[in-house]
Amino acid sequence: MDVFACLGRLDLCFEPVELWLGQRTADPHPLECTVTDPESFAHADADLNRQALEYHAHPKPGKIGVAVTKPAATQHDLSLAYTPGVAEPVRRIHADPLQAYEYTNKGNLVAVITDGSAVLGLGNVGGLAGKPVMEGKAVLFKQFADIDCFDIEVQAEHPQAFIETVMRIAPSFGGINLEDIAAPHCFEIEQSLIEQLDIPVFHDDQHGTAIIIAAGLLNALEIQGKSLEEARIVVLGAGAAGIAGVRLLMTLGAHRNNIFCVDRQGIIHTGRKDLNPYKFGVAADTDKRTLSDAMEGADVFIGVSGPDLVSPEMLASMAPRPVVFALSNPVPEIRPSVAMKVRDDLIMATGRSDYPNQINNVLGFPFIFRGALDVRASRINEDMQIAAVEALRSLAHEPVPAEVLEAYKLEALQFGPDYIIPKPFDPRLRDRVPRAVALAAIQSGVARIPQSSS
Ligand SMILES: NC(=O)C1=CN([C@@H]2O[C@H](COP(=O)(O)OP(=O)(O)OC[C@H]3O[C@@H](n4cnc5c(N)ncnc54)[C@H](OP(=O)(O)O)[C@@H]3O)[C@@H](O)[C@H]2O)C=CC1
Ligand SMILES: CC(=O)C(=O)O
Ligand SMILES: [Mg+2]
């Protein structure tokens, strides 16, 4: 069964829906093919939604369970697992809390925690409605990185209540993956928890997304013959993913003066009086005001906002050989079938698995936490994030294993416009990314045990 069926509405599905025109590497004339029209898109969505409900409901509601990892079949087993034997590890941990890593599942247990305030691109649907997505993240942690995971949905209106809740339950876990918490609260929540806890706290929508955007964009620009330093970049959405994406791209060399961030009020510029400090940090000194203004002549569009916000006219006004990352889930800012009708010199990515080039944090959080947990890192710092970018970016240049081709029903795939980032099912991710992240943790001094050689 397809583990991807876990991402909420399943950008991921039982059988990938054939909406794309075909891999460009296999088909040199994609625009001559029949383009899927919006009606059939809606039809395919309805069918997928029905399958997704079935998947979530049967044979047992939900997507994850708890497994017993030790023998528990005899009287003797019970006297070890429970009283009286269990008292000895209790004494050891009481004397030295680090022993929890030896005698409990703490070291391989991550909490995926949300308040449900920005679930995918569906908005503030609340924690309970967000639970399918959080269970989905737990599935991906387990499936891709063998990390055990509890999803925790917190009812908290204010950041402080959320922070206190996480602080109180944190001892149980080796790491905290914050998920789908809207900006600006997400920034305060993550910063406060990082400062107070000695385990990795990582807001996936910020850093997970930023890492995958950066890896994909570096590769896409290379193919288009452009550089990050000179690229004119538009980021639609100045929330968790947008702000973190811009910060990481600037760390990697993007020029601040070349970036326009856009929210519901238009371009974020220094003359605006409504900006919170996070938006002010990415404000441009410009007379331009609208998304259309920003898109004119831009080399790169990154959408982390909402569905169908980019028009064909805006896309047409971009510079030659643009890069378009329409990453809103489940519905992108512009659909590939629409974009490819407008121009064929673009590199296009979405957050979904049913098109080429899936820029989605699924490529990040399982493997980044694997690397961090392997060395009991106290945090996931910028060095570790950049190591993940480089590991992902470089892997896309290598030949693609047969099992990946099989999973995607492809005959061939190579570094190029339709393959700028590894596929989530690439088994090499499980080694490459954690190793790079763990090494960076050791070198930057946040690892608490050396990486094992196995
Ligand atoms: N592919 C991937 O891996 C990921 C994709 N995403 C997608 O990115 C989107 C945002 O997520 P996240 O950053 O967590 O959410 P946030 O709520 O933190 O931020 C959303 C941002 O989008 C802006 N926005 C929303 N609707 C519009 C609109 N109609 N016009 C202009 N701007 C708009 C908001 O503007 P304002 O500030 O004015 O309210 C805000 O700045 C979601 O669709 C999500 O699915 C997120 C993470 C990972
Ligand atoms: C993929 C993801 O985390 C999101 O869309 O929020
Ligand atoms: Mg998310």
Q: Is there a single domain that holds both residue 243 and residue 134?
A: no
Asked if residue 140 has pLDDT above 90, the reply is yes
Tokens 């503030």 belong to 124
Both 187 and 321 in one domain: the answer is no
11-15, 105-109, 246-250, range with the lowest pLDDT:
11-15
pLDDT of residue 320: 98
Per mean pLDDT, which range of 23-27, 89-93, 108-112, 168-172 is the poorest?
23-27
- Coil, helix or strand at residue 419: strand
Q: Residue 389 and residue 399: Cα distance in Å, rounded?
A: 18
Residues 356-363 have a mean pLDDT of: 97
Question: CA angle, corner 353, sides to 346 and 326, nearest 5?
Answer: 40
Q: How many domains does the chain divide into?
A: 3
pLDDT of 40 over the 90 cut: no
Domain of 132 in residue numbering reads as 105-199
Inform me whether the pLDDT recorded for 20 exceeds 60.
no
Average pLDDT of span 253-259: 97
- Mutation pick for ligand 2 pocket among 12, 178, 180, 304 (CB with most ligand atoms within 8 Å): 180
pLDDT at 45: 80
Q: Whose CA is nearest to atom 47 of ligand 1?
A: 205
| 32 alpha-carbon distance from chain centroid | 33
Q: For the segment 44-90, what is each residue's pLDDT rounded down to a tens digit?
A: 788 999 999 999 999 999 999 999 999 999 999 999 999 999 999 99
155 near 223, Cβ under 8 Å? no
Q: What is the pLDDT of residue 31?
A: 28
Position 2 pLDDT exceeds 60: no
Task: Give residue for tokens 């590497």.
Answer: 25
Q: Are residues 223 and 310 in the same domain?
A: yes
Given this model, what pLDDT does residue 43 score?
67
* CA–centroid distance, residue 86 to ligand 2 (Å): 40
Give percent of the chain above pLDDT 70.
89
Cα 129 to middle of ligand 3, angstroms? 13
Any idea which residue has 């899927």 for tokens? 36
Q: How far is 447 from 207, CA to CA, in rounded Å? A: 19
Considering the domain architecture, whether residues 177 and 214 belong to the same structural domain is answered as no
Residue-level pLDDT at 105: 98
Residue 246, in any domain of the structure: yes
Q: Indicate whether 98 pLDDT > 70.
A: yes
Asked if pLDDT for residue 396 goes beyond 90, the answer is yes
**Residue 292 shares a structural domain with residue 168:** no
- Shared domain for 303 and 320, answered yes or no, is yes
Q: In this structure, is residue 73 part of a structural domain? A: no
Q: Is 241 in the same domain as 338?
A: yes
Among 199, 227, 247, identify where a domain stops: 199
In this structure, are 344 and 374 located in the same domain? no
To test the pocket of ligand 2, the residue of 10, 329, 350 to mutate (highest count of ligand atoms within 8 Å of its CB) is 329
The 3-state DSSP class for residue 94 equals: helix
User: Closest ligand 1 atom, CA of 358?
Assistant: 1
- Whether 284 and 378 map to the same domain: the answer is no
For the stretch 162-174, pLDDT in tens is 999 999 999 999 9
CATH number at residue 194: 3.40.50.10380
Report the relative pairing of strands 233-236 and 201-203 from DSSP bridges.
unpaired
Q: Among candidates 254, 215, 165, which has minimal Cα distance to 368? A: 215
Give the closest residue to 175 by CA, choosing from 453, 434, 392, 436. Answer: 434
133 lines ligand 2 (CB under 6 A): no
DSSP category for residue 164 = H
β-sheet bridge partners, residue 323: 300, 347
Q: Which residues pair with 176 in a beta bridge?
A: 111, 201
User: Is 337 found in the same domain as 227?
Assistant: yes
Atom of ligand 1 nearest to the CA of 265: 38
What is the pTM (predicted TM-score) of this model? 0.91
Query: Which residues participate in catalysis according to the annotation?
Result: 82, 137
End-to-end CA distance of the chain: 29
CA angle (15, 17, 23) in 5-degree steps: 110
In this structure, are 211 and 340 located in the same domain? yes
Per-residue pLDDT of 281-306, as tens digits, reads 999 999 999 999 999 999 999 999 99
- Angle at the Cα of 304 from the Cα atoms of 327 and 199, rounded to 5 degrees: 100
Q: Is 11 in the pocket of ligand 2 (CB under 6 A)?
A: no
